[in-house]
Amino acid sequence: MSTHSYLVTGGAGYIGSVVAARLLAAGHAVTVLDDLSTGHRAAVPDGARFIEGRVQDAGEWLDSSYEAVLHFAAHSQVGQSVADPEPYWRNNVGGTADLLAAMRDAGIRTLVFSSTAATYGEPATVPITEDAPTAPTNPYGATKLAVDHMISGECAAHGLAAVSLRYFNVAGAHGPHGERHDPETHLIPLVLQVALGERAAVSVYGDDYPTPDGTCVRDYIHVADLAEAHLLALTAARDGEHLICNLGNGNGFSVHEVIETARKVTGHPIPHITAPRRPGDPATLVASAARARETLGWHPTRPDLADIVADAWEFARRTATP
Ligand SMILES: O=c1ccn([C@@H]2O[C@H](COP(=O)(O)OP(=O)(O)O[C@H]3O[C@H](CO)[C@H](O)[C@H](O)[C@H]3O)[C@@H](O)[C@H]2O)c(=O)[nH]1
């Protein structure tokens, strides 16, 4: 097996740390770049070299010893991006422009980028394919879409080989790596905090959506399956091409179905209260992952929601504050 050296930006975060761990397990050398603004130093996998710093400054030390860059570092909270958009443009878009320039100067020709279902906005039809219209409903999605456009230009003009992976709802845990946002806004970790007794009830944001039970439907994907797609993307990337692939399981679950699954997995009652809709939430987001399967040869191994919740539950119990 040929081994390479990879730069993982945001490798102290939830998804970046899992991908870094998988690259190390495959025998590669990994450097994690993270400014620890939202990441955790302890999440950087053993065996990775760690640089505490910003992507904006990567040009100061980046060199041709890296085979590729996997770029996770970003601001990623939808609500925060609505309340205070400017840092999202400065960091997500400006930071990636600096990173692309640094890669060009260093002669690094391959990029895998964390894009998102939020680039599509409210979909006209589901499941969502990659040629669906892109009309983000919040600044977070707009900045990620802007970066996707920027990457396409870099591929066309300078021959970069790039893959953007558009994540749907990532959940679950992989070994010691799980979801720890502060504040936590994501449904599955919040539901599990209720199961742990750390929170009295979970709020269900709206029960009058045009869905079977009135609550929002999402496509949940296990973080380990998501990570695997990044390793496949590294070999699928072609000079001068920008491949965009959705990553989801193609199955939609409502908020009530997620809570019910968590009740079964944890054995706890998990009370909920119905709350107003959260601004910017589309009713239904479900991926067509046909392209990822066909182009990357991606085969998810833990597509069942109960398995995803069970792994998140194990992580939540292990890391619970006593
Ligand atoms: O306390 C909560 C939290 C969430 N929800 C609902 O649960 C669903 C899932 O919400 P999450 O916040 O877990 O996930 P999102 O679908 O909002 O977010 C996902 O998609 C976003 C883009 O749309 C971003 O990419 C984000 O990082 C990613 O997790 C949504 O319908 C939301 O309204 C609740 O009912 N109660």
Tell me the per-residue pLDDT of 11-67, one tens digit each, with 9 for 90 and over.
999 999 999 999 999 999 999 999 999 999 999 999 999 999 999 999 999 999 999
Q: Does residue 229 have a pLDDT over 60?
A: yes
Q: What is the mean pLDDT of residues 155-162?
A: 98
CA distance 322 to 317: 10
CA distance 195 to 203: 13
* DSSP string computed for 151-207: HHHHHHHH--EEEEEEE-EEE--BTTB----SS---HHHHHHHHHTTSSS-EEEE-S
3-state secondary structure (DSSP) of residue 260? helix
The larger pLDDT score, comparing residue 40 to residue 279, is at 40
**What is the whole-number distance in angstroms between the Cα of residue 93 and the centre of ligand 1?**
22
221 CB near ligand 1 (under 6 Å): no
Atom 7 of ligand 1 has which residue's CA nearest to it? 187
Pairing relationship of beta strands 217-218 and 253-254 according to DSSP bridges: antiparallel
Q: What element of type H or E holds 218?
A: strand 217-218
pLDDT at 209: 97
pLDDT at 1: 54
**What is the whole-number distance in angstroms between the Cα of residue 166 and the centre of ligand 1?**
15
**What is the whole-number distance in angstroms between the Cα of residue 186 and the centre of ligand 1?**
5
Q: Does residue 320 have a pLDDT over 90?
A: no
Q: What element of type H or E holds 274?
A: strand 272-275
| Residue 221 to residues 67, 89, 109, 145, 300, Cα–Cα distance (Å) | 28, 27, 29, 21, 9
The answer to whether 291 touches 245, Cβ cutoff 8 Å, is yes
For the chain, what percent of residues have pLDDT higher than 70? 99
305 CB near ligand 1 (under 6 Å): no
Q: Does residue 183 have a pLDDT over 90?
A: no
Q: Is 14 a catalytic residue?
A: no
| Predicted ipTM of the assembly | 0.96
Does a cis peptide bond (omega within 30 degrees of 0) precede residue 183?
A: yes
CA distance 196 to 191: 9
**What is the whole-number distance in angstroms between the Cα of residue 187 and the centre of ligand 1?**
6
Q: Is 297 exposed, middle or buried (0-12, 13-18, 19+ CB in 10 A)?
A: exposed
pLDDT at 180: 84
Tell me the per-residue pLDDT of 84-137, one tens digit each, with 9 for 90 and over.
999 999 999 999 999 999 999 999 999 999 999 999 999 999 999 999 999 999
CA distance 249 to 167: 10
Q: What is the mean pLDDT of residues 137-146?
A: 96
Mean pLDDT of the chain: 96
Ligand 1 atom nearest the C-alpha of 141 is 22
Of the listed 14, 120, 140, 220, which one is catalytic?
140
Go through the chain and tell me how many residues it has.
322
Q: What is the DSSP letter of 240?
A: T
Select from 270, 127, 289 the least CA-distant residue to 221.
Answer: 289
The answer to whether 221 touches 229, Cβ cutoff 8 Å, is no
293 CB near ligand 1 (under 6 Å): no
CA-derived radius of gyration, the chain: 19
The answer to whether 202 touches 191, Cβ cutoff 8 Å, is yes
Atom 33 of ligand 1 has which residue's CA nearest to it? 205
